[in-house]
């Protein structure tokens, strides 16, 4: 463990406080929560948890600040976001160490992906704000896009900084004020982010952070009548609870929820290219991504060849201490997730899927920590639990098909529709298949990540979109003013 992150936050008094109305304040309750290092299963810090009363204070501060922030110039908001972006990059190593400590990300992955991708969300929000037309004209109408109001933002533990910036950036760009509830399981990077916001000069009340659990803080935020919008990233179960709590006040609810994403390997795909990249994508962040392509749908005639390649790809993984430069995959983030992965591996074995890699328990030589063995099942039937349920861990299912129509049916055959992949040499055929998949994003032949691409789900994967222009517009209301008359048009007086 590198104690510098915890000691830095402790000495500054951050672990004992929430951030409300521009100040670090002691929460009104006595509840506390331990931060567990998943590589050792030992507590490394303790944070104070907020209460419904703290949520009320934060919402009141956000409501007061909205009156001025919502009418501030786009230029001033863009300058603030530019300072936030710069500070994240300046403190990138602090963020990377915090993420590695709090949720077990390999330090190399935290440095190369978790932190830079989070900074990109702020940059994109800034750039979109600079070019966005908040007022357009249609005949004698003015179509105005205005900030929706006070936004409650609920973020998960698996991409702790990335999901914060994906919400805070566009919300602030739109002119909204926010109350953030980060996951109490990985709160250290969120506290560092609140420091960034303060040091960037955010006006009091525009950004507030209340640490806490879902039943107390999340529920209070969702139900609060002065919150105009809730945006949650989390499990489908959590999304349903938030939507139910928000319903009586008819607030907007944006949900980025679970997934069971397919990776459809077409018959003409170059397996030497398509399969190793698919294995890497499925096990990225130790499989703890809602859009992880953990169902590889492959031609039955090429199944044995795919099995050989996936085993070669998995053999390159180094599972171990997340602070080691040699580690490619650390532990899963917490005990509940470790238990979930073990349970689903047991179910896969009981269902009759053929285990060709990994299995139950920790990797050899690792006697403690929430480490899971990278696990691959083959000959998986599409209706097996391991092919239908989100596992959120390093478990890949190989599902054979006999025709492309059957492959598309399998791809669409879950309650989810968040991400998807299609691999094939004939780009026209791949595009045609991509168009048939019911999913918020489809990646053809592993393109580079694009922070401008809208992201969100069909079916039980959620409602609404994040990232890019669509992510900005999620935080805007539309107002039509009839009889406005375009000022550029000739006068009729």
Contacts of 401 (CB under 8 A, 6+ apart): 297, 298, 299, 300, 407, 410
Catalytic residue among 184, 216, 256, 474: 256
**Contact in structure between 141 and 485 (CB atoms under 8 Å):** no
What CA dihedral angle connects 464, 468, 470 and 474, to 10 degrees? 60
| Catalytic-residue membership of 23 | no
Per the structure block, which two tokens stand in for 441? 């994003």
Classified as helix, coil or strand, 331 is coil
DSSP 8-state secondary structure symbol assigned to residue 361: S
User: What does the alpha-carbon distance between residue 122 and residue 396 come to, in Å, rounded to a whole number?
Assistant: 32
* Active-site residue flag, 176: no
Q: Which of 151, 176, 290, 357 is catalytic?
A: 290
Cα angle 403, 405, 409 (rounded to 5 degrees) comes to 115
Closest CA relative to residue 159, chosen from 126, 119, 194, 208: 119
Q: What is d(CA 286, CA 277) in angstroms, rounded to the nearest whole number?
A: 15
Give which of 258, 292, 283, 261 is closest to 399, Cα–Cα. 261
Residue 237 and residue 240: Cα distance in Å, rounded? Answer: 5
Name 172's Cβ contacts closer than 8 Å, sequence gap at least 6: 69, 77, 80, 81, 125, 178, 206, 207
Strand runs labelled E in 18-149: 18-20, 23-25, 32-37, 42-48, 135-138, 141-147
What is the DSSP pairing of strand 23-25 with strand 32-37?
unpaired
C-alpha–C-alpha distance, residues 1 and 463, integer Å: 39
Q: How many residues does the chain have?
A: 493
How many C-beta atoms lie closer than 10 Å to residue 304's C-beta? 9
Residues recognised as catalytic? 256, 290
């Amino acid at each position: 463990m590198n104690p510098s992150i915890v000691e830095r936050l402790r000495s500054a008094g951050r672990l004992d406080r929430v951030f409300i109305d521009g100040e670090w304040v002691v929460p009104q309750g006595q509840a506390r929560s331990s931060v567990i290092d998943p590589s050792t299963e030992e507590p490394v810090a303790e944070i104070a948890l907020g209460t419904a009363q703290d949520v009320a204070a934060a919402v009141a501060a956000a409501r007061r600040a909205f009156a001025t922030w919502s009418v501030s110039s786009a230029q001033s908001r863009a300058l603030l976001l530019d300072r936030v972006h710069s500070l994240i990059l300046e403190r990138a190593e602090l963020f990377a160490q915090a993420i590695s400590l709090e949720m077990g990300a390999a330090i190399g992955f935290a440095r190369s992906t978790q932190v830079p991708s989070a900074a990109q969300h702020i940059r994109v929000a800034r750039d979109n704000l600079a070019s966005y037309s908040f007022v357009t004209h249609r005949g004698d109408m003015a179509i105005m896009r205005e900030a929706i109001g006070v936004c409650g933002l609920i973020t998960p533990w698996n991409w702790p900084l990335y999901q914060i910036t994906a919400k805070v950036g566009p919300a602030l760009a739109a002119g909204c004020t926010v109350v953030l509830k980060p996951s109490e399981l990985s709160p250290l990077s969120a506290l560092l982010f609140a420091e960034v916001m303060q040091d960037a000069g955010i006006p009091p009340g525009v950004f507030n952070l209340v640490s806490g659990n879902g039943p107390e803080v999340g529920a209070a935020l969702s139900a609060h009548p002065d919150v105009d919008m809730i945006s949650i990233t989390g499990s489908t179960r959590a999304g349903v609870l938030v939507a139910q709590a928000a319903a009586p006040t008819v607030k907007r609810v944006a949900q980025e929820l679970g997934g069971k994403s397919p990776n459809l390997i077409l018959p003409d795909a170059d397996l030497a290219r398509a399969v190793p990249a698919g294995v890497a994508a499925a096990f990225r962040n130790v499989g703890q991504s809602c859009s992880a392509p953990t169902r590889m749908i492959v031609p039955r005639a090429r199944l044995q060849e795919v099995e050989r390649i996936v085993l070669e790809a998995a053999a390159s993984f180094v599972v171990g201490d997340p602070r080691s430069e040699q580690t490619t995959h650390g532990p899963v983030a917490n005990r509940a997730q470790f238990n979930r992965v073990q349970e689903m591996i047991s179910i896969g074995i009981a269902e009759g899927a053929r285990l060709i890699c990994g299995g139950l328990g920790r990797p050899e030589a690792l006697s403690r920590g929430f480490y899971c063995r990278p696990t691959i099942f083959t000959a998986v039937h599409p209706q097996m639990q391991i092919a239908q349920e989100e596992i959120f861990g390093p478990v890949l299912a190989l599902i054979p098909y006999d025709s492309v129509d059957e492959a598309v049916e399998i791809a669409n055959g879950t309650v989810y529709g968040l991400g998807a992949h299609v691999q094939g040499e004939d780009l026209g055929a791949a595009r045609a298949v991509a168009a048939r998949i019911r999913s918020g994003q489809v990646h053809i032949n592993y393109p580079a990540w694009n922070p401008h691409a809208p992201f969100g789900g069909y079916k039980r994967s959620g409602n609404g979109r994040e990232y890019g222009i669509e992510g900005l517009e999620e935080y805007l209301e539309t107002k039509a003013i009839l009889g406005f008359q375009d000022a550029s048009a000739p006068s009729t007086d």
